[in-house]
Structure 1
């Protein structure tokens, strides 16, 4: 039960954060690291011919900047996008809480902010923010950072705190003017199956000309996913010790049963019962206890795992606490994702361990000498 609940929660946590990441990020990206992309449509068409798994493509230009509003200053990631094609590679348009992605018209210098970023800056749609980028411009007073005033056109909410607090979107044409470039910085790609992204990116790197680099969502967040995987593995090992404790408990229970039934075992032996039959009796008893325990553990574990969100929510509301601050864990609700690939091995290994725990007590019962056991009866 403990293993199923904990691993289901960790699976849900990983899946929830991954899905929220991919609602803003793309499955794969082709980056310009030297060679410009003057005609991204032609490049995207060639990529689709090379990899039929690609079902969507959109240009982008990414950079860092500072947003200021009054006395509030926040560092952000500026994403120049094409509103017409962005919906092919991400769910930003679906995550809009105020405004629409199509409001980012070229030449109007409008910007869309994450919900937490808008709150930190203290702005609402229709108000102005100053955008400062590190690409400097030369003035009589020296090199000065480039600055432009943008109008807040909308607010999006991906549910991922890191994105909602430090990400913004502007029109690709406005981004090129702001960053003094004439071509996109890369192409965002969407695949029919996001799990194929590492393979597709590797194959594209072997096929594309120098100056272009393909990367995928797993490499962009490699550290986070690797840390979660290691944590899940270690938690599984640690919690499996609980199953071992249960197995030792079964050994103790059967040993005590053997000690209390010594005279009965001796009588059976005098009536012709073999050692093998005595062993089978106690192994069947241990197998029955193990089967009942596994079935109860799996049933209760799945029941709790499928309703852990409601249970944790009720506890948080009852005691006024929050187990998952979104500033730390990216999400604020307890997710759960029970998987057969976890539940079945847990049940099988638990049953085999319970069965193995019956061997020693059964062997002790089979080796009881009738004469010694009945000496004082």
Structure 2
């Protein structure tokens, strides 16, 4: 494709000093512009990847890969259902749960929360939430003791700590001869958990499943069972298999269905960021047009001599294509290096910036998480590099073609 002579001359032109300082400055500006564009694009996409990864880990740590329930009320005989679920491939753990909306009251301060009744010895097989507990664990939940573990933000809002009492008010009513009243039950706060996701830290509480059943008069019934799989990406296939091999009243939902729209929106947002920031790179890449045009004017005499020595017009075109691409390649290499370095250390850089400016860069209320995390993906880098080089190639074609149209006799006419 490229002959050694063309490649050699193109590389020499890339390193050679220009007659005009302005031409050298424009060439350097083009390279720096490409480097900055590539760096910013890598950092932004890495932050988006880290954001999506953190949300997925936290959400699945709180919930599960697959949820099996019934569409006719509560699930009877969950032990048999659990045994049946363990027969399916990829299933590592199965645990029952009760999920109800209640209100928590402390000295007149009321919050609506999701109360999760769990079986401590099985909950740890389908969730990593124990790793996010603060001075407490699921093992502290004892049947009949009515202990509760609250989200850290919820406990802070209610101004409670370990050992304090809190009243749960169920929306399910208890019949009395004089009418109906909400069910009230007093719980003792055992501790808190912190997922760094305000959507859960401020709206969730855990109690023993037997205490939940007693409070809600569910006896041995539960809301359903949750499954943990060896590979979370097997969930869609497995949920279909479970559904086809279960009774008609069984309802099966996997995490990709539960959060389909949410993660789809994240993917669309990432794609939008990519194309918007790619425009920045496009501006820098097409700055090569002016750079290479001035280089062609600067090198008219050299082009004429090369043509006289036998270099074909196509050879001249290839020579300047190589020069333009090398400028882009150097910019891309610098951008990729800086982008990967910043992305890999973003968890250190962001707190440092926040400490300097005194303002948090991430709001829990807006983004669900409190920390920025970077996740560099090879596929993203390859896409960025290829896109940048293609844009640079298109930007270099016209000046390179102009160089091939230089007439040797005319260019050398005014040379002394």
TM-score, normalised with respect to structure 2: 0.86
Distance 1:65 1:35, change over 3 A: closer
SS at match of 2:282: helix
Q: Identify the residue that residue 46 of structure 2 maps to in structure 1.
A: 8
Q: Name the Cα RMSD after superposition.
A: 1.6
Q: Is 1:164 aligned with 2:201?
A: yes
Determine the C-alpha separation between the residues in 1 that align with 2:330 and 2:301: 28
SS at match of 1:43: helix
Determine the C-alpha separation between the residues in 2 that align with 1:216 and 1:302: 34
Q: Identify the residue that residue 216 of structure 1 maps to in structure 2.
A: 254
Q: Identify the residue that residue 356 of structure 1 maps to in structure 2.
A: 394
Q: Is 1:114 aligned with 2:151?
A: yes
Structure 2's unaligned 5+ residue stretches are 1-38
Q: Is 1:225 aligned with 2:268?
A: no
Does the Cα contact within 8 Å between 1:157 and 1:164 map onto a contact in 2?
Answer: yes
* 1:155 positional shift: 1.5
Q: Indicate the larger mover: 65-74 or 99-108.
A: 99-108
Does the Cα contact within 8 Å between 1:35 and 1:212 map onto a contact in 2?
Answer: no
Q: Identify the residue that residue 148 of structure 1 maps to in structure 2.
A: 185
Q: Is 1:273 aligned with 2:311?
A: yes
What is the 5 A alignment of 1:191-202?
191-202=229-240
Q: Indicate the larger mover: 139-148 or 17-26.
A: 139-148
SS at match of 1:23: helix
Which of 342, 367, 370 is 2:405 aligned to? 367
Which of 324, 331, 348 is 1:293 aligned to? 331
Q: Is 1:323 aligned with 2:346?
A: no
Determine the C-alpha separation between the residues in 1 that align with 2:319 and 2:199: 60
Q: Indicate the larger mover: 53-62 or 277-286.
A: 277-286
Q: Is 1:33 aligned with 2:71?
A: yes
Q: Indicate the larger mover: 317-326 or 327-336.
A: 327-336
Does the Cα contact within 8 Å between 1:60 and 1:184 map onto a contact in 2?
Answer: yes
Q: Indicate the larger mover: 313-322 or 96-105.
A: 96-105
Determine the C-alpha separation between the residues in 2 that align with 1:12 and 1:133: 38
TM-score, normalised with respect to structure 1: 0.95
Which of 265, 279, 283 is 1:245 aligned to? 283
Q: Identify the residue that residue 99 of structure 1 maps to in structure 2.
A: 136
1:182-220 Cα deviation digits (max 9, x unpaired): 211100110001122222222222221111111122322
Q: Is 1:65 aligned with 2:87?
A: no
From the two aligned structures, give the one with the greater helix fraction: 2
* 1:260 positional shift: 2.1
* 1:141 positional shift: 4.3
Q: Indicate the larger mover: 34-43 or 287-296.
A: 34-43
Determine the C-alpha separation between the residues in 2 that align with 1:357 and 1:328: 40
State how many pairs are aligned. 376
Determine the C-alpha separation between the residues in 2 that align with 1:249 and 1:11: 30
Q: Identify the residue that residue 175 of structure 2 maps to in structure 1.
A: 138
Q: Identify the residue that residue 180 of structure 1 maps to in structure 2.
A: 217
